[in-house]
Amino acid sequence: MAASPRLRLVACVLGMAALQVPTSACSARDAVPLQARPAPAAARAVVWTEDVHGEGEHSYFLDATGHVLEERKGLAMYDGSTLLTAERREETIPTSDCGDSVKATGASDAVPPAAGVGASSSLYLVSDVGDELRVLPAPRPDHAVQAFQSVVDLTGSAGPYLFLRQTTYVLTCGGMGSVAVQSFVWDVAHHKLAPRSAMFPDDDSLEGRAQRALSADAEDDERARESPSDQRFTELLPTLSRDGDLALSVRFVAPTSYAGTRGGWSSNTRSVFVPAKTLPAALVGFAVAPEPVRTFVRAQLAPVRGYSTRP
């Protein structure tokens, strides 16, 4: 089983720190070089996938029969008749040698790490005529840190909605490393973040099923048993079936100990995905993909993360 983005991120950053290599050399996924250019004239839809070898996103332009006209590296999607591509931009983050913090531990053999740089990624959407819009800014620490790494994952799309996950690893001076994860839904049509509550499915059974799953997961977890009902929803994940049908899963998290962190979310949490039985009103119109997309999906080995069409 492939390692999750969170585990790849933590392992990479810790490995680089041990080798005293600048963490700018450590990225969970390389930035995708993009060119702002129009789609093929005959394209009626564009489908994007995540490469099975972990090499980022790929987009496929389809004609009315589902035939692939062109493949491009990166994520492309339509906003009406305008073609947009997603672009990650990496910024360097200065890190500290944390000398005073290391000395304060009292360890006689403590060696302060070398100062270096971390990395943080922002996300932009660039149009086929070169206009650009920043979707997510690059996070920056507000205090001295020993290591810092933040990446953006594009987890899926449905119609004009782009689903995002931002994962940030921080190793504070004199402290332990921690991971913080956030999710967002970007409304491409209105050029703004969509409230996640508006995307929540109308499924009364979701929270109960999540509580049962988290309770079953808590049997050997003392911290979890202390707060069995302390759960919250944190992420929506759209998926496309092999027949081109849209489904939505909802991630719920609950607290646990630092050592008990599991499920691919933030430190001190455990999480589960629960499949929704219905779609929210905003996504009902995209429940069934158009035939060209369905034709492509049936023949595709890599997971299809989303699609969009143009008039």
**DSSP codes of every residue in 66-80:** S-EEEEEES-EEEET
Domain boundaries, the chain: 5-194
Quote the pLDDT of residue 16: 36
Quote the pLDDT of residue 15: 41
Residues contacting 172, CB < 8 A, separation 6+: 143, 144, 145, 146, 178
* Range 119-129 burial, b when 16+ CB lie within 10 A, else e: bbbbbbbbebe
Q: What is the mean pLDDT of each run of 10 residues along the chain (311 residues)?
A: 42 39 38 63 94 81 96 94 95 83 46 70 94 95 90 95 96 88 96 90 91 77 57 93 94 91 93 94 95 93 91 86
What phi, psi does 19 have (nearest 5°)? -90, 0
Q: Residue 63: count other Cβ atoms within 10 Å of its Cβ.
A: 15
* pTM of model > 0.95: no
CA–CA gap between residue 95 and residue 92 (Å, rounded): 9
Quote the pLDDT of residue 37: 79
Decide: 285 and 309 in contact? Cβ < 8 Å: no
SS3 content of the chain, % helix, strand, coil (to 5): 20, 40, 40
Quote the pLDDT of residue 229: 58
Decide: 96 and 84 in contact? Cβ < 8 Å: no
Quote the pLDDT of residue 24: 36
Quote the pLDDT of residue 176: 84
Start-to-end Cα distance in the chain: 40
Look-up: residue for tokens 């491409």? 188
